[in-house]
Amino acid sequence: MIDPAAPTFWPQLMQVLLEGTWETVYMTAIAMAITFVVGLPLGIILVGTEQGRFLEAPFGSRALGRVVNGLLGFIVNLGRSVPFIVLMIALIPVTRWLLGSFIGTGPAIVPLTLVAIPFFVRVVEIAVREVDPGLFEAAESLGASRWLLVRRVLLPQATPAILLGTATTITSIINFSAMVGVVGGGGLGNVALTYGMQRYSWIHIVFVVIILFALVQLIQWALTALAKRLGAQPIRRGPKKDATADAQAHLDADLALPSSRTPTHPSGSTP
């Protein structure tokens, strides 16, 4: 039991919280950065290799497109269906092999990244799927290469939805990061675990909750603002729906059932 009346209590609390916050931000930032770099292309490839899409035949091979699509879909589903705590423990040998140790804040980034990538691939998938197929057709009709199509059509259109999804992904990384205390990872979750649970300091818990809340708010606000800016279309009151809002709705529905195994890549297209 910690005594809040002790003169060292508040300075120590600040010290612990500061360190915890830094570790959480550090783990989340690195995990998100890796997730973004890996997940963005994977999400684009996952949708692109569907039948009738721009990557249905990579290197001129339809069979390759089908294999890549099937494999990616399978991995994403697999990754999303394993509970984080199980994944974290299962990854201990991998992390040890990769980083030499599985204890601590750094190694905790490995399971955090691996749980976030499938989630983020799904985010990108939804965002890309919302891009009007007519735009791809127009780009094709102009004789644009696939790379140009991705850069100048797909990304500009999908970016607002991807940013909103990034906010959601970061939030869930922060969520999961609270659990890495189990494998010796630091962060605010660990603060709550060691001070709040093991030493009965409710003051620590309250502060941890406030800081986490502020972090999530800040990220959501910043990315929403950015998404609005990039997708700003003031006079857009047509039959076409707002892709950004729509993607968010999909995502919210998806989050309501975190362990659902709905297929993420309905195949087949109508002629």
Partner 1 sequence: MISIEHVSRRFGDGPDAVVALDDVSIEVPRGSIFGVVGQSGAGKSTLLRTVNALERPDSGRVVVDGVEVTALEGKALLQARHQIGMVFQHFNLVGNRTVAQNVEFALEATGAPKKDRRPKALEMLDLVGLAHRADDRPGQLSGGQRQRVGIARALASGPDVLLSDEATSALDPETTRSILELIQRLSRELGLTVLLITHEMDVVKRICDAAALMETGRVIEQGSLDDLIRTPGSRVAAELFPVGEAHYIPHHRIIDVTYTGLSADRPVIAQLARDFGLDVSILGAALETIGGHQAGRTRLAVPGDASVALKVIDSLTAQGVTAWEVLA
Residues contributing to the site for partner 1 (CB under 8 A): 60, 132, 134-135, 137-145, 148, 152-153, 156-157, 159-160, 230-236, 240, 271
Least distance CB 231 / partner 1 (angstroms): 6
Among candidate residues 25, 10, 6, the one with its CA nearest the CA of residue 203: 10
Report the residue number, 134 or 263, with the smaller CB distance to partner 1: 134
Enumerate long-range contacts of 129-137, CB under 8 Å, 24 or more apart. Answer: 129/47, 130/158, 130/161, 130/243, 130/246, 130/247, 131/157, 131/158, 131/243, 132/157, 132/240, 132/243, 136/53, 136/54
Report the residue number, 137 or 252, with the smaller CB distance to partner 1: 137
Least distance CB 270 / partner 1 (angstroms): 9
Least distance CB 188 / partner 1 (angstroms): 36
Residue labelled with tokens 């986490």:
212
Report the residue number, 103 or 135, with the smaller CB distance to partner 1: 135
Residue 220, burial from CB neighbour count under 10 angstroms (0-12, 13-18, 19+): middle
Please name the residues in contact with 161: beta carbons below 8 A apart, sequence gap of 6 or more.
Answer: 123, 126, 127, 130, 227, 243, 244, 246, 247, 248
Least distance CB 121 / partner 1 (angstroms): 22
CA angle 85, 178, 220 (to 5 degrees): 115
Report the residue number, 19 or 246, with the smaller CB distance to partner 1: 246
Among candidate residues 220, 46, 24, the one with its CA nearest the CA of residue 117: 46
Report the residue number, 97 or 147, with the smaller CB distance to partner 1: 147
Least distance CB 208 / partner 1 (angstroms): 39
Least distance CB 130 / partner 1 (angstroms): 12
Report the residue number, 141 or 198, with the smaller CB distance to partner 1: 141
Looking at residue 182, the DSSP 8-state letter turns out to be G
